Chain A
Amino acid sequence: MDLEILSVAINNLRHQGLRSYLTLLGVIIGIASIFALVSIGDGLNASVTEQFEKLGSNTIFIAPGGTFSSGSGSPTATVTFKDSDIARLESYPEVKNVIPFFATSTVGKHGSDQTTISIFSYDPDKSESLEETGTIEVQEGRLFNNQDVFAAMVGEQFAEKAFSREIGLKNIIEINGKKYKIVGILKPSSQNIGGGGPETNNTVWIPEKGARQTFPNYASNFMFAQTFNKDQVASAKDKIQRYFDRVYGKDQTTVQTSEQLLDQIKQFLAIISGTLIVIALISLIVGGIGIMNAMVMTVLERTKEIGTMKALGATNTRIMTLFLLEAGLIGLVGGLLGSLLGFLIGQGMSIAGQAAGINLQAVATPELFLFVLAFSIIIGMISGAYPAWRASKMDPVVALRYE
C-alpha cells in the first residue's frame, strides 16, 4: 500500500467538514469515557493497595459472623471472644500480639447536637501495638494511657463534620450519659481499614475502662492478631481459623488477612469499574454506528466518483482501502482526542477527589493510551468495513449512471 492513499483519505475527510467532526465527536465521547474510567479505576485500586500496605501485611482480622461485609461497621453477630481465646492465640509461636476490641454503635451527643457513632474500644496497654498496625496515627493530642477512663479519640474528619460545630481537643462527647473528653485527633488515612474495622467518618475510640462502665454488654467482638513477619500470616491464619471453628463451630467466626481483604475490595472495585466500562463501551459502539452511518452516506454521495475512479483504473482493493482508511482515520483522530479528553477528565476527578479527602490519583499509562488508540482505530475500521465493501463492489457502469 502506498502512503499516498492516506493523504487522499485525509483530504476526503477534511472536505466533509461538519459531518466528519460530528462523527468524530461520537468517537471522542466513547473513547474519553473509557480512558477516564479505566484510569480512575486503576487509580482507586492503587490507592486502596497503598492503604493496605500501610496497614501492614502481617495483620490478621478476626470477627464474629460468616463473612466480613466490607465497610458495614460494627460486627453484630453473637460470638464474643473470651480471655481464653486471646490467651490461646497469643500462645501461637507466630503470633506477636493480639488486640481485642469492643465495637458497637450508639448515639453520641455534643451539647444539644447528636449523631450516630461507631464505638471502638481497646485496652490502652495495646496502644503501641495498635499504632504499629497503622490503624491509628495521632495527628493532634495523644493516644490513651492507663489512667484514661472517659477519654476519646476521633478522626480528623469526624472532628470536623460529625456535629454542626467542629470539635477539638478537650471538647466533650456524651455517650450513653457518660461524658468523654477528647484527648486525641487521628490522621484520616489511618482509619481506612474497611472490612469490619473502624469506619472512616464516624468512629469514636474510647479506652476499655470507660467502655466497661458505659456499655453493660462489653465484650471483645473484634480482634487483630499480628504475626512477627509476613511469611507467617498464612499459617497463623489457618491455625486461628481452625481453633475458632473448633470452639465456636464452623462459620461462626471469620478470620482474614489484610491481603484477602484487599482482594475482596479490589474485586468489588473491579465489578463497579467493569460495569462502568461496559456502559462506556456501549457509547463507543454508538460512536462506531455513527462512523458507519457517515460512511454509508459518503459512499452513496460519492457513487459517481467511485464509478469514475473505477473507469480510470482503480481496483476494488484500492477503493476498499481508501474508504477503510477514511473510517480508520476517524477512529485514529477520535482515539487521540478522546484519550486526551479522558486524561483530562481523570486528572480533574483526581483533583476533585483529593479536595473531598479521597486519596485518588488517576493512572494514565502509555499502555492504556496505546490500547485505547488501537481499539478506536479498530472500531473505526470495523464500522467502515461494510460501507467500504459496498463501495468496492459497485458496478462501475451503474455507479457512473447514478444521479
Chain B
Amino acid sequence: MDNVIEAVKVSKIYDMGEIKVTALNDVSLMIKRGEFVSITGPSGSGKTTLLDILSALSRPSKGEVLINGDPISQMTDSELALVRGKTIGFVFQSFNLIPRLTALENVMLPLWFQGIAPKERIERGEKILSEVGLEERMHHKPNELSGGQRQRVAIARALAVDPDIIVADEPTGNLDSNSGALILSLIDELHQKRGKTILMVTHERYVAERAERIIHIKDGKIEQSEAVKKKTQEIRRNYK
C-alpha cells in the first residue's frame, strides 16, 4: 500500500442554482508515500478544490478518494474528521491560528481533538515548537508574532499529531521572501528528514520545482503531470 492518497475519477460541482460550476472534472491522481508533489495552475483553475478533496476536507460530487487505502465515502463525517486529524496536517496561506490561544495552545489543539492526555500534549507541543525555532515564543499569542513566526506555529500545529501527510495551500503567499524561504526549507526538511508526504499548492514555478512532481491544473482538469529533475530540485532548494 504505497499510495497514501488516491483520487479516482473525482469531480467537484458547485451547484449555484441556475448555473453549476465544475471546479474539478473527472480527475484521477495517486500520491505515493513520502512523495513531494506541487500543484500549480492559473487562478480559479481548481488547485484549492483539488487539495481540499485530496485532504478529505470536502467530499467529491462524483468519484472516490482513498486515504491509506480506505474509501472516504464509507466514513461518517465524524470518522472522517478523526482520520483527517490523525493523518493530515494543514498549513494555510493565512495561517488560521486561533487568536485567543497562545502558540503552544494552538499547537496542542489537534492533539486535544485526538483525545491525547494534557501532559503529553504539552510535552509534544513544546518539543515541536522548539524544532521550528520558537522555544522563546511558546506563550505568545498570534498577534504578538511576525508572519513568518505565525506560519512556523502553523507548521508546528500541522506536525503535532505526527501525520503522514502535510498539505499546504500557498504557504508562502502571505510572507516576504525571507520568511517564505525559511518556511519552504522547513517543508523540505519535513519531506527529506521525516519522510512526510507533502502536497503543496503554489502558482510560482520556482517554488513548485522544489517538489519531485508538479501537477498542472487547468479548468478543473489535470493538464500535465511533470517529474522534476533531481538537479532542478536541488538548485531550487538551495536558492535563497
Contact = CB atoms under 8 A, between A and B. Distances in A.
Given A396-B57, A396-B58, A397-B57, A313 B114 contact: yes
B78 interface: yes
A317 B78 contact: yes
A324 B238 CA distance: 50
Interface stretch (B85-93, B144-152, B190-198, B225-233): B85-93
A309 interface: yes
Contact of B110 (A2, A4, A312, A316): A312
B145 to A, nearest CB: 17
Contacts of A312: 85, 90, 109-110, 113, 157
Interface string A297-315: 0000000110111111111
Summarize A's interface: helix, strand, loop or mixed: helix
B81 A315 contact: yes
A4 B77 contact: no
B81 A313 contact: yes
Given A4-B112, A314-B113, A315-B78, A305 B98 contact: yes
B203 interface: no
Contacts of A179: none
B113 A309 contact: yes
Contacts of B90: 308, 311-312
Interface residues of B, number: 26
B161 interface: yes
Interface in B64-106: 77-78, 81-82, 84-86, 90, 92, 96, 98, 100-101
Given A312-B113, A313-B161, A315-B81, A11 B100 contact: yes
A313 B92 contact: no
A4 B118 CA distance: 9
Contacts of B212: none
B100 A15 contact: yes
A397 B115 CA distance: 24
Nearest to A304: B96
A397 B52 contact: yes
Nearest to A5: B112
A318 B84 contact: no
26 contacts: A2-B115, A4-B112, A11-B101, A12-B100, A304-B96, A305-B98, A308-B90, A308-B92, A308-B96, A308-B98, A309-B109, A310-B57, A310-B81, A311-B90, A312-B109, A313-B85, A313-B86, A313-B110, A314-B81, A314-B85, A315-B78, A315-B82, A317-B78, A318-B113, A400-B57, A400-B96
Interface of A: 2, 4, 11-12, 15, 304-305, 307-318, 395-397, 400
Given A308-B90, A309-B109, A311-B55, 13 more contacts: A12-B100, A304-B96, A305-B98, A308-B92, A309-B113, A311-B90, A312-B110, A313-B85, A314-B81, A315-B81, A315-B82, A397-B57, A397-B58
